[in-house]
Amino acid sequence: MPDPTWQSGDVTLYRADCLDVLPTLAEGSIDVVVTDPPYGIGYDASHKKYKNGIVRAEATWDKRPFDPSPLLRFPHLIIWGANCFASRLPDSPVWLSWIKTTRNYAKVRQADFEMAWTRGCVHRPQAFRHLWIGAYRDSESGIRNVHPTQKPIALMRWCLEVANLPGDALILDPFMGSGTTGVACVQTGRKFIGVEIDEGYFDIAVKRIKEAQMQPLLLRVE
């Protein structure tokens, strides 16, 4: 197993290709995988930069269709964006939806909602209503995104709640990005393993998780 790149408390992070790390993790050691794979970012030229203008290297591993099969060895899963590759996943009657607009026929450039495929940890389809359209947000107002598909921390905290996890559960995010799932785990007292291949995003995740560890626990989702 690769050596952890960064550890602090109940958080272990790897700056590595998740395909190298996943086979080393025992299935029974992970309570649930909560992740948002980077499907299709490499196809969109607008995603080649940070919001602060720093040019990003093009993600060559994201130029081919996403293969979710390495994740399917784990029995408990929440995978955001899975509607984009649903034909490569087993059927599931239980999906989660994040509704980010406040009215019908909202004239915005992004999707009105996003969906997550689940297995083994959520018992019924559920929706999380949380405004997140440009500068209009129910949380993290005034904080600029540092990742093109960054999710609200509140959304990931909600995922941990609906997954009916024990308080000391171990969560895995093999596509950690800027570390939002890790921040949610720290805020709710859960253990976290994160894997990120991109050095820039990895460093951002470490910074965000460090900041979260200095704050008091938030025991309930908003």
Q: What is the DSSP string of 25-89?
A: S-GGG-SEEEE----SGGG-GGGSB-TTSPBPPP-GGGSS----GGGGGSSSEEEETGGGGGGGS
User: pTM to 2 decimals?
Assistant: 0.84
DSSP E strand stretches across the chain: 6-8, 11-15, 32-35, 77-80, 95-99, 113-119, 126-129, 132-133, 136-137, 170-173, 191-196
**Residue 14 falls inside a structural domain:** yes
| Residues 107 and 136 sit within 8 Å (Cβ to Cβ) | no
40 versus 198: which is more confidently predicted? 198
The answer to whether 130 and 138 have CB atoms below 8 angstroms apart is yes
Quick one: pLDDT at residue 28? Answer: 87
Q: How far apart are CA 128 and CA 134, in angstroms?
A: 18
Q: What distance lies between CA 22 and its chain's CA centroid?
A: 16
Range of the domain at 170: 6-213
Instruction: Give the pLDDT score at 158.
Output: 96
Number of Cβ within 10 Å of residue 109's Cβ equals: 6
User: Is residue 37 a part of any domain in this protein?
Assistant: yes
Q: How many folded domains does the chain comprise?
A: 1
170 - beta bridge partners? 191
- The lowest-confidence range among 108-122, 123-137, 138-152 is 138-152
Is 219 among the domain residues?
A: no
- Let me know if residue 75 belongs to a domain: yes
Check whether 21 has a pLDDT greater than 80. Answer: yes
Cα 119 to Cα 117: distance, rounded to the nearest angstrom: 7
Residue 218 is assigned to a structural domain of this protein: no
Q: Is residue 222 part of a domain?
A: no
Beta bridge partners of 128: 98
Residues 34 and 118: their CA atoms lie apart, in Å, by 9
Most confident of 7-16, 39-48, 97-106, 141-150: 7-16
Encode pLDDT of 155-198 as tens digits.
999 999 999 888 789 999 999 999 999 999 999 999 999 999 99
**Domain containing 58 — which CATH number?**
3.40.50.150
- Coarse DSSP helix, strand, coil percentages of the chain, rounded to the nearest 5 percent: 30, 20, 50
Rg, Å, the chain Cα set:
16
Indicate whether 221 belongs to any domain. Answer: no
Q: Does residue 22 lie within any of the structural domains?
A: yes
